[in-house]
Structure 1
Amino acid sequence: MEYIGYVNTAYYIEQLEAFVLSMKQMPCSFIYYDEKGNGQRQNWKLFISSLNSNDTAVLVSFDNAFCNFNEMMFFLKLCASKNIRIISLKDSLDTSDVFFPKVSTQNTLNVIASMTVTKGQAAFDDFQAELLSDKFHEKKLKKYRMVINMYNAGYSIKEIMSRTGYHGKSNIYRILHMFNVELEYPTMVRSKQPGVGVIMRNL
């Protein structure tokens, strides 16, 4: 049940001394520092691996500690699974409600939301890209369902292509094969005209 701190010295340089002093007064048994030029953040990894069940993780702030939204979510899930208390000094956040008992839930949500913005557009874009990807996937599945439903209802391949916007019959058959739809292949009807053999397909 130790207090363990982490500081990224690339941010809030003017205030770091005061934050480090607060960590030492808690007292933190150890404080991990990452220097500005350390792109690999080796000490962040050591900080994560040093946290045990029922410890207290002390941060300068969320946007000082986390590089992106996914990193933050990993940390929150890790702390939840190990019952690790989180204290974020600049954010006035304490998951045990001891240091900052009057801080509201709204403040906590604002901390999370502002982190994705103030860390730079890249972090927000990562999260936004995930949402857009999910929306695109959902839209694609709706088109797949439309193809299958129309085919099962007896519409022709040409009608399905016209309604769904797909070009080429192979796209329609690919979707039907993908979802194991039983296909009724076109029937062959021969009609003879003088001197010409014509093959007609009912589509």
Structure 2
Amino acid sequence: MAKVGYIFKANSYDAFDADKEWMLQYGCVQVIEESVKHETLRPKWKQLMSNLERGDELVVSKFSNAVRGLRELAALIELCRIKVVRIISIHDKIDTCNELFADTTPAEVLMMFGALPEEVAVLRKSSDKIMRLQQSINTSILTKKSLSKAERDKKIVDMYNDGYSIRDIWKESGVRSKSTVYGILNKYRVQLNRKPGRVPGLRK
């Protein structure tokens, strides 16, 4: 018999810290945190469902935080009924043993069922939006890096065509070695018209 907590770490879920503290104070031996990037498959939730044993207690922040619809909620309730697992939902104020939230009425439970699809949709929409923004930022960073590399290559080509020595180009561009300079010149099919260190028109 074990008390286990579960929280889906949605980006818009502000009660995460308070809920985790509630679970620990209640005596949960483990609080499972599901990352938003695993929202589609919820591997930790599935593992938790598989590991529940008779007499365990499952504590969730809110049913809309734990499941993704009424079908999953029904499956959860049926599984816990079969395994005799107590379910506690903190913010829904529901305890299947009717001990912690004895004042919760049947009408409030029905309201929870009715509001669940909308709450799940809002939670997922918010998380999806933030993930898209993060991906956009990462793409922007990669684009800037690519642009910076292209600008560096152009500078190397321009310096060579302007008569700078390979040594000077190497130092000015910040590349790792002289061979990198030659590699970039070859990449852009620059005709090598002088020996290393020699500037066209000058004699040693």
- TM bucket, shorter chain: 0.5 to 0.7
Shift of 1:117: 2.3
Shift of 1:26: 1.0
Residue 37 of structure 1: aligned partner: 37
Aligned partners of 1:91 and 1:111 also within 8 Å: yes
Equivalent positions of 1:1-203 (< 5 A) are 1-10=1-10, 13-38=13-38, 39-120=40-121
Residue 194 of structure 2: aligned partner: none
Moved over 6 A (4+): none
Report the secondary structure of 1:14's partner residue: coil
> Aligned letter for 1:6?
Y
Give TM-score scaled by structure 1 length. Answer: 0.57
Task: Provide the rounded CA distance (Å) in 2 between the counterparts of 1:72 and 1:11.
Answer: 22
| Gap runs ≥5 in structure 2 | 125-204
Distance 1:52 1:65, change over 3 A: same
Report the secondary structure of 1:74's partner residue: helix
Give TM-score scaled by structure 2 length. Answer: 0.57
- Residues 110-137 of structure 1, C-alpha deviations (whole Å, 9 max, x = no match): 111110222229x9xxxxxxxxxxxxxx
Identical amino acids, percent of aligned pairs: 25
Over aligned residue pairs, what C-alpha RMSD do you find?
1.7
Task: Provide the rounded CA distance (Å) in 2 between the counterparts of 1:44 and 1:12.
Answer: 19
- Residues 130-185 of structure 1, C-alpha deviations (whole Å, 9 max, x = no match): xxxxxxxxxxxxxxxxxxxxxxxxxxxxxxxxxxxxxxxxxxxxxxxxxxxxxxxx
Task: Provide the rounded CA distance (Å) in 2 between the counterparts of 1:18 and 1:79.
Answer: 25
> Aligned letter for 1:29?
V
Shift of 1:12: 5.2
Shift of 1:57: 0.6
> Aligned letter for 2:30?
F
> Aligned letter for 1:102?
D
Task: Provide the rounded CA distance (Å) in 2 between the counterparts of 1:78 and 1:92.
Answer: 20
Residue 136 of structure 1: aligned partner: none
Task: Provide the rounded CA distance (Å) in 2 between the counterparts of 1:109 and 1:65.
Answer: 18
Aligned partners of 1:59 and 1:65 also within 8 Å: yes
Report the secondary structure of 2:55's partner residue: coil
Aligned partners of 1:4 and 1:57 also within 8 Å: yes
Distance 1:43 1:16, change over 3 A: same
Higher share of residues assigned helix: 2
Task: Provide the rounded CA distance (Å) in 1 between the counterparts of 2:90 and 2:107.
Answer: 17
Task: Provide the rounded CA distance (Å) in 2 between the counterparts of 1:95 and 1:108.
Answer: 11
Task: Provide the rounded CA distance (Å) in 1 between the counterparts of 2:96 and 2:44.
Answer: 23
Report the secondary structure of 1:120's partner residue: helix
Report the secondary structure of 1:119's partner residue: helix
| Gap runs ≥5 in structure 1 | 124-203
Higher share of residues assigned strand: 1
> Aligned letter for 1:27?
G
Aligned partners of 1:11 and 1:64 also within 8 Å: no
